[in-house]
Structure 1
Amino acid sequence: MATPIPLMIAEPVAMAIAAFDMDGDGLVTRTEFDAGIARSFELSAKGQASIGYIGFGDWSERWLGNRNALPSPFEVDQDGDNRITLAELQARFALFFTRFDTDKDGVLKRSELLTVRPAAAPRPAEAENRRPQRRR
């Protein structure tokens, strides 16, 4: 049996961060990162100082790809007032920048935004189900 190829996965938050690359060089500087968060918030807040949890769900769907993607509004809403401010979003995302910047150079490369996981070998029943069915 062949060794499974590792899976490369992009977390929803990593996809959003990659979209913050303003100059198209494949890198996200801290300046681009901060500007991207601010721009994404402004587009969702529509001139308001904060967004509610439903508004955060809309933000998540647009920027993370799913209303239920992490971080949840409960993680972002630091003061528990059921509203998300730009400062709260920036504070939560600053933690992501630090986590993803594995070489600590202040720039996020696409390779740093990927998570590599070992692929699980298919179980015998799954392998059997993958065989093409014969046409009769």
Structure 2
Amino acid sequence: MRLVAAMICIVAMGALAPAAAQRAPDAAVQPRVPPITQPPSATIMAEPVALFLGATDADGDARVTRAEAQAGVARSFATVETTTPGSIGYIGLSEWAERWLGDRNALPSAYETDTDADNRITLAELSAQIDRTFTRLDRNKDGVLVRSELLTLDSARGQIGRGLDGRGRRGRPVP
């Protein structure tokens, strides 16, 4: 009797194993569908440095000039420039980024900002980096940033469940 029960278990396990193996790959391919109560993913975003630049609007006219941006950089730099007057280290820049951009790893990076490679960031270097970002964000090149220039469209969010390129799994065409 024990032999019959053992045989039934072995046959049942053998029959279930191929079915489970077939389901596993399919489950990985199926996109996650959010519940109907969940709002759609955001398609308009702002870079942390763009949020910082928007906050430097000193006169409240919803327009940021280069002068306002540079004054904001100087004010924010002074909050972390405590140990060595005139410069901060890479850790000081990450503290500045955490306080003013919201995350220690937010761009601009220390390596990109430290143009003379002395492992110190001066106010002039940080101001120059923020000025380059200002220029990049100023789409109409009028020297003033308005809120629409501080926003980024995130079209990749509409491709939920498809590869990063929208064609299928990780760049491979869908068969």
Coarse TM-score class (shorter-chain normalised): 0.7 to 0.9
Query: 1:121 aligned to 2:152?
Result: no
Which structure carries more relative contact order (alpha carbon 8 Å, separation 6+)?
A: 1
The equivalences for 1:90-105 within 5 A come to 90-105=127-142
Does the residue aligned with 1:38 lie in a helix, a strand or coil? Answer: helix
- Please name the residue that 1:69 is paired with: 106
Q: CA deviation at 1:117?
A: 2.0
Unaligned runs of 5+ in 2: 1-39, 163-175
Return the match for 2:46 from 10, 24, 48: 10
Partner amino acid, structure 2, of 1:43? T
**Alignment match, 1:60:** 97
1:5, CA displacement in angstroms? 7.9
Larger fraction in strand:
1
Where structure 1 has 5 or more consecutive residues not aligned to the other structure, the ranges are: 125-136
Whether contact under 8 Å (2:86, 2:123) holds in the other structure is: yes
Which residue of the other structure, out of 68, 77, 83, is the alignment partner of 1:41? 77
**Cα distance, 1:6 vs structure 2:** 6.9
Instruction: Give the partner amino acid of 1:103.
Output: N
Q: How many residues align?
A: 121
Poorly superposed stretches of 4+, deviation over 4 Å: none
Aligned residues with identical type, % of pairs: 55
How far the C-alpha of 1:25 sits from its partner, in A, is 1.6
Quick check: which has more Rg, 1 or 2?
2
**What residue number does 1:32 align with?**
68
Residue type matched to 1:53 in 2? Y
Structure 2 match to 1:133: none
Shift of 1:123: 2.4
Let me know the Cα RMSD of the aligned residues.
Answer: 1.8
Q: Is the 8 A contact 1:50 1:84 kept in 2?
A: yes
Contact 1:6 1:116 in 2 (8 A): no
TM-score norm. by structure 2 comes to 0.65
Q: Which deviates more, 37-46 or 8-17?
A: 37-46
Q: C-alpha deviations, 1:39-60, integer Å up to 9, x for none? A: 1111211371100111111100
Q: Take 1:105 and 1:123, find their aligned partners in 2: how far apart are those partners?
A: 40
TM-score (norm 1): 0.82
**2: distance between equivalents of 1:78 and 1:18?**
25
Contact 2:66 2:131 in 1 (8 A): no
